[in-house]
Homo-oligomer: A and B are copies of this chain.
Amino acid sequence: MPVLFDRLCLVGLGLIGASIALAAREAGLVNTIVAVDADEGVCRRVGELGLADEITADAAAGAAGADCVIMCVPVGAIGSVAAQLGPALKPGAILSDVGSVKGVVLREGGPHVPAGVHFIPAHPVAGTEYSGPDAGLARLFRNRWCILTPPEGTEQAALDRLADFWRAMGANVEFMGADHHDLVLAITSHVPHLIAYNIVGTAADLEAVTQSEVIKFSAGGFRDFTRIAASDPTMWRDVFLNNKDAVLEMLGRFNEDLSALQRMIRWGDGDGLHALFTRTRAIRRGIIASGQETDAPDFGRQPGNAPKDS
């Protein structure tokens, strides 16, 4: 793979920033990686892990001279980060991000982007429940989708280059408008996280069922929810605050449907329940067929993959 960016600047070296550093290095896509992080401990760890060639806490200094700058910070921080590094960007550079909400990135990042800089928000739909530079994985983006939401008038050559960068890290690339992105992700990611956080919270608060019982018998289904409810709290707070309309809309639909289910249970409508439970099986088959999910029983983690068995 040819070098796509001589100098790549990553702002924020959490799970995603660290994974980009590892993946871009492994694929030989960049000559120099500059890491920017406001957290001193993260900077030290980035150095120990050898994730970058240069490390600084100063976003403007890190972005100066970069051919591509990717802001890997919670979406609530995009405005202030863009304000810090915007003036330092060189003409022809690409400025991007990895946030899970795209409308807010355009609105709050856009005004700080100087003329001549290509601003192309992006969202790699990939991750794990772990956070921080140690959570980085070179293979994180393989066979996952990365959605680019270029504003109108984006230069095609810059867009192609950023798409090539993601493809070279193993991702499939999709393009759409920011508003549509925010609606799609509200149902495929944001509301699922919200209800996972919610049921874990509900279970933690019960007086008639002990915490130890919740943990012991979690293999009955509950534990599946705890994975995404262990995701980074700051990132997710920012997602909900910044995709409010789409999340509330999708949550409204979820609630309506749940009320209908609740009513079926109360009135003993077995046929209605059976029909829904049959329909939902097909969706999983589609996800497995698309390569976005494993077909191994129980995600392949059981039997034999539990800590005690290994």
Contact = CB atoms under 8 A, between A and B. Distances in A.
Interface of A: 76, 100, 125-130, 135, 137, 139-140, 142-145, 147, 174, 180, 183-185, 187-206, 208-209, 211, 213-231, 233-234, 236-238, 240-241, 244, 247-248, 250-251, 253-255, 257-258, 261-262, 264-266, 268, 270, 273-274, 276-281, 283-288, 290-309
B195 A290 contact: no
Looking at chain A's contact residues, is the secondary structure mostly helix, strand, loop, or mixed? helix
A279 B147 CA distance: 31
A240 B273 contact: yes
Contacts of A143: 303, 306, 308-309
Nearest to A76: B270
B233 A278 contact: yes
B201 A191 contact: no
B283 A214 contact: yes
A279 B184 contact: no
Contacts of A279: 201, 204
Contacts of A254: 198-199, 202
Copies in the complex: 2
15 contacts: A142-B304, A143-B306, A184-B217, A185-B220, A196-B221, A198-B257, A204-B283, A224-B225, A237-B277, A240-B273, A248-B265, A294-B306, A294-B307, A300-B305, A301-B301
Contacts of A306: 142-143, 291-294
Residue among A145, A195, A206, A254 with the most chain B CB within 10 A? Answer: A195
B233 A281 contact: yes
A137 to B, nearest CB: 6
A226 to B, nearest CB: 4
Contacts of A299: 227, 299-301
A216 B280 contact: no
Contacts of A268: 241, 244
A70 to B, nearest CB: 19
Given A187-B206, A205-B257, 19 more contacts: A142-B308, A145-B216, A145-B217, A187-B209, A190-B221, A195-B199, A198-B257, A199-B254, A201-B276, A202-B253, A206-B253, A215-B287, A225-B225, A226-B283, A230-B280, A248-B262, A291-B308, A295-B307, A296-B305
A184 B225 CA distance: 16
A270 B274 CA distance: 39
Contacts of A280: 197, 200-201, 204, 226, 229-230
A226 B184 contact: no
Contact of A265 (B202, B209, B247): B247
A202 B187 contact: yes
Contacts of A253: 202, 205-206
